[in-house]
Structure formats: C-alpha cells, structure tokens
Structure 1
Amino acid sequence: MKLQYFGHSACLLETEGTKLLFDPFLSGNSKCTVKPTDVQCDYILLTHGHDDHVGDTVAIANANDATVIANFELASYLNSKFGVKIEPMNIGGSITLPFGRVKFTLAFHGSSYPGEDGQALYMGMPAGILVTSGKRSFYHAGDTALFGDMRLIGDMNDIELAMLPIGDRFTMGPEDAVKATEFLRPRYVVPIHYNTFPLIEQNPEDFADGAAKLGVEVCIMESGDVMEF
C-alpha cells in the first residue's frame, strides 16, 4: 500500500493498482498543496457529510469517472443532486470490490451538508472506514470521539496504518488519540484533522510522544508526503 497525505483528513491510498481518495477537502484547505485537478482516483470514500470532508468530491468524481463510497443518505444525495456514481453503505456493513473489502465502522460526530437555503441537511451517520486489501488493513477513523469499541476494531482487524484525528474541540484530542492507538494497535499511526483552522490547533508531537510509548511508529505527514507500508 502507498499513502499520500493532502492535509486535514484528505489522503490517497493506492492498493492493488487502485487509487482510493478519502475526504477530499483540497480547495480551501490551508494545509493542502495539491489542486483537485491534479488528483487521479478510481474511488472516493467519504467518512461523513461535513464540507471539510466532502470538499471537492463532485468535481473530482466527474473528472475521473470515480465512484463515491459513502453512507446511504450522503451517497444518495450526491447521486440525485450531482449525478455521481455511488456505492451506498452504512455502519457495520461491508462490500467487496476488485481491490479488497471496505467496511464502515462507528464514529461519534455529526454529519450534515449545507443546503441551498443555508440550512444544514442531514447526511446520515458519520463513519470510520476500514479498507482490507490482501492481508493488510488501513483504518481512517474520520471525525470521531474516543469510544470503547475501538478496542473491538483492533481485536478484529490487523491494522497496518491508522489515521486518527487529534484536533480536539470537534474530535479526539491528542490524549484521547493515544488511548485510541492503544485500543487499535496499528503498526503505524498518522495524526490528522489538526492545524487547518485556529480552533483545532495542536502540536502533533504531543500525540507522537504518547503513541510512541506504545511501540507504534508515528508518522507526522505534511501535504504531499508519501509513505509506503
């Protein structure tokens, strides 16, 4: 597997010759150095409906003829409103695709999308996303609080790399993310969803120091950074 990070929660995972784009908030992302027109992908996977995660989904999906994988409400909205191809899912469900298996896990957060009248439209439950390809699993936690069933996710999956939010206020902060790392037991962990806005400013080293004590390799990535695992 190969991972390229774009800042905030956006990343591109390559596995089995397939490119999976997660939460493509690129335009307006102060930490992103990549333009939406520069990104190529086969699938776009969305953890929830907030605009800093849906981001440039429609433009990128149309440019790449990519399929959007999202919870039922969000996927249905994007299909009916913008005509993108979809694979609707929901929490606890999984689907098998040519590159492997996608499963949606719990996440404790909100999920809405701005409507034309300025009112927030309900977009179903937020999710974490597990991708298993061959014997390796990748876990994108999305926006979430710490929750005890993360231990079950770690027990049931051999997670190679986990991406965990550390921004606090709207998600886990560094201390809770360390506990999540303990529960999940990944080989590598990448902190996400911090320093994009003033309200979620954090020092990632605070998280790295705690997670490293668990024997997990912490990778603090900048936009455009690539790692193979």
Structure 2
Amino acid sequence: RGGSCNVDEIRLIPHCNGTHTECVGHISDRHIAIREVLQEALIPATLLTVTPRPAAEVRDQYLPTPEAGDMLLIRSDLESALAGVEADFLAALVVRTLPNHPTKVSRDYLSASPPYFSLDAMRFLLELGVQHLLVDIPSLDRMFDEGRLSAHRIFWEVAEGTHQINPATASRRTITEMIYVPDALPDGTYLLNIQIPDFALDAAPSRVWLYGLKKP
C-alpha cells in the first residue's frame, strides 16, 4: 500500500485479439497447454502468398455451407504455390493473403466476413505434413461457423463433435492466427521462430520472426 511504482493488471483472451498461437487444447475438454506443445526454437518454413477465391465459384467444400460473398483459400492454389518446395521446409507454412493492406493489423473483422480455408485445402496441408500453420486471418474457419471449427479439426485430426482428447497422444501441431507479413518479405524459405510467454493455456499471444537463408 502506498508504493511508488506501477503495477499493471492484464486481462487477456488470446483468441481473436492480435497474433496468437494455439494448440489442440483449444477444442479439448482435457487441459493441453501451448507451452507443452510448442518446443522448437527454429523451424524450417515456407512463406507463400495466395488470393482467396469466391466460394460460389470453386468446387472446394466447407461445413457449414459457405454463404453468399464468402471467400475461400482453396487446395489447387496451395498446390500450385507449393509445387517444388523441399519437404524439409514444409514443417511450417506461413500464408499471406491478398490484398495485403497494412490495415490488417487493426481491422474490425466483424464488419465483414474474412476469408477462411476450405476443408480440401486443410486436408492437403495435412497430407504435406505441415506441423505449424501461420495465417494472416482471424481464424482458419469461418467467423460464424455454428461452432464446428471444421478446418481446425482436420488439422488436428479430431473428429467432428469430439472433445475428448488424450493429451499423451494429441496432435503436436500449432496454429498461429492474425499475423501480418509485410510485402517487402518475398515468398520463399525461411527459418521460423515463434515466441510465446510461458502460459499454461490452450493459446498465448505470440511474436513471429522469419529469418532469411543465404545459399553458401
């Protein structure tokens, strides 16, 4: 009492409030913490830029059914962008969407439905063995999706409607949402560092670094 110093109080919901990294604990009834899942310091990664497509004009699927005006990140675009990428650099995938306006860092995403991943696209990333997925949108899934989190479930290999997940055998994959990748950074391969506080939560605020590689 009466101390001459500042003592700040922090109240935080990591999801949908800036860059954050989450684990399968996000959809589990049993406690699984991001600090226990994210262990790597430097991860081989690929940065790619894709343009979302009108859901009404593509064959890719999503549950629930997309609404008029929805935009999807689709499998064929990811296949084209990743053709020829070395498997070692698919441990992490950093997805930059177009248009890439700087207002992404402070945008009110509730005013319009942002793009999201088709289920076909998510199955493709699973086939590639991607372990860490980083995106510049608020969620892999549609903002209002009836609570299904269909894309998350595919990535974490959790059946629809299931919340009973064994921490000992649970997926070690992570999802980082609401990043921003400046245009000055070209598509290509990098080393990725995801920094998080040591929170025993399903998700934590994160800071993402991409380190360029030089050929000898």
**TM-score, normalised via structure 2 length:** 0.30
Which structure ranks higher in relative contact order (CA pairs < 8 Å, sequence separation ≥ 6)? 2
Structure with higher Rg: it is 2
Q: Between Structure 1 and Structure 2, which shows a larger proportion of strand residues?
A: 1
**TM-score, normalised via structure 1 length:** 0.29
